[in-house]
Amino acid sequence: MMQIPFFRYPHVFGQQREEILAAMLKVMDRGGFILQDELREFEQAIAAFVGARHAVGVGNGTDSLCLALQAAGVGAGDEVILASHTYIATAAAVHFSGASPVLVDCGPDHLIDPAAVEAALTPRTRAIMPTQLNGRTSDMDRLEAIAGKHRLVIIEDAAQALGSKFKGRCAGTFGLAGSISLYPAKVLGCFGDGGLLFTDSDATWTALKQLRDHGRNDDGLVVRWGTNSRLDNLQAAVLLTKLRIFPQEITRRRQLARLYREGLGDLEDMTLPPGPDGDPDHFDVYQNYEVEAGRRDALREHLERHGVRTIIQWAGRAVHQFAGLGLPPFRLPATDRLFTRCFLLPMNTSLTDAEVAFICDVVRAFYGAK
C-alpha cells in the first residue's frame, strides 16, 4: 500500500546533499560560528529576495516575534490584536512582552478578519499582529488602513509565509517588522531552529541587532538590555544553499495546490484554500494545504487507513480554546466552527504528482465520487 507521510525530512537534505555538506564544512573548517560572513550574506540575500531594506537572523521564529515587540516598545498596559487561529508562539510573544493578547476571528481564507480587528479596537490597542497563515498574506490594504487610522503598529507573524505576496509585496515587509520562522519544515527551513526579522526602518534594524546580541552595539558595548538569539552561521550556510532552489520550491508547491484543486475542487463537502491562479492580489506559497470538510474526522480516518497522514494545526485547538492559558473568554464563532472542520493534507516538495493523484482518489472514494 502507498504510504504518504505528512512530511519527509530526509528529502530536504537529500536533494542538495553535497552542496549543503560543502557549505557546512567550509564554516567548520574556518571555525566561524556566530555572527560571521555567512550570516551577513544570508541576511543580505534574503532581504533582497523579499525586497526589504534589512534582515536580522535570530534563534527562532518565536524570539523574532518577542524581539519585534520589544523593538516596537509594546509592553504592559498595551493590547495587541491577533487571530486565534495561529501558533501559540504569536500569543505567547505578546504575553511575554507584558501586553495582553486580544484574539479575533478569521475570515473564509483562514487569515485574520479585518472586520474583527476593527471590532476589537480599544483605547489600549497598540499593535496588530496578523499571522500570514499557511503561506498566504492577509489583505494588508485593509489592515494598514485600520493601523493608519488608529495609529497602531503592525508586526507581521509571517512565520509560514516567506515568499508569499499581497499586491506584489512580500509577507514580512509590511508594518514595522515582519517575523519568519526557519524551522525545518517551513518553506525555507534550516536544520534546527532559526528565525528572521525584516524591517525597512534603520533604527529598528539597529535595535533588533542589539536585542539579539545581549544589547551590544557594533563595538561590543552594552547599550540596552538584550538576549542571546542569533541565527548560527552553520544554519545560515545551509539556508544560503537552500535559497538557490527556493523559487523552484515555491513553483512546485503552487503546482501541487493546482493538482489538489483539479482533483478535489468539485467535492461539495470540502472547502479548499484559494487556488494559485486567478487572483492577482495574492501570491500564495502553500506552506500548508489547509482544507475544510464537514465529515472531517471520518475523512481523516479513511485517509489514514489508506496510508495518507494528515494533521490538524496546533493539535486541533485555536489559541482561545486552550483553557490552561488563563485568557479571558473570547467569542469567536468562525474560528470555533473552523476547528470542527479544518485539517492539513500533505503539502511539501517531496510529493510526486502520482502521490497527489492518489490522495485525491482516496478522498473521492470516501465521498463515492468518480
Residue 191 vs 358, nearer CB to ligand PLP: 191
- Closest residue to bound ligand PLP by CB: 61
- Alpha carbon separation from 57 to 97, 122, 205, 233 (Å, rounded): 20, 33, 11, 10
Asked if 348 touches ligand PLP (CB under 6 A), the answer is: no
Q: Which of 4, 67, 68, 86 binds ligand PLP (CB under 6 A)?
A: 86
Residue 86 vs 125, nearer CB to ligand PLP: 86
Task: Give phi and psi for 292, each to the nearest 5.
Answer: -120, 145
How many CB atoms lie under 10 A from the CB of residue 255? 16
Q: Which of 20, 47, 57, 62 binds ligand PLP (CB under 6 A)?
A: 62
Element (H, E) at 285: none
Closest to 16 (Cα-Cα) out of 190, 220, 163, 182: 190
Would you state the cell numbers that stand for residue 280, as one nine-digit string?
492577482
Asked if 238 touches ligand PLP (CB under 6 A), the answer is: no
- Alpha carbon separation from 293 to 142, 204, 273 (Å, rounded): 29, 43, 12
Residue 182 vs 360, nearer CB to ligand PLP: 182
* Residue 17 buriedness (CB in 10 A; 0-12 / 13-18 / 19+): exposed
Q: Which of 60, 70, 84, 204 binds ligand PLP (CB under 6 A)?
A: 60
Asked if 163 touches ligand PLP (CB under 6 A), the answer is: no
Residue 60 vs 233, nearer CB to ligand PLP: 60
Rounded to the nearest 10 degrees, the angle between the axes of helix 233-243 and helix 17-30 is 150
Amino acid at 113: D
Residue 190 vs 360, nearer CB to ligand PLP: 190
Q: Which stretch binds ligand PLP (CB under 6 A): 56-64, 258-266, 325-333, 362-370?
A: 56-64
Q: Which of 57, 101, 175, 195 binds ligand PLP (CB under 6 A)?
A: 195
**What's the closest the beta carbon of residue 136 comes to ligand PLP, in angstroms?**
12
**What's the closest the beta carbon of residue 132 comes to ligand PLP, in angstroms?**
8
Site for ligand PLP in 130-159 (CB under 6 A): 131, 157, 159
Element (H, E) at 304: helix 296-305
Closest to 232 (Cα-Cα) out of 169, 190, 285: 190
Question: Which residues make up the interface to ligand PLP (CB under 6 A)?
Answer: 60-62, 86-87, 89-90, 131, 157, 159-160, 181, 183, 193, 195
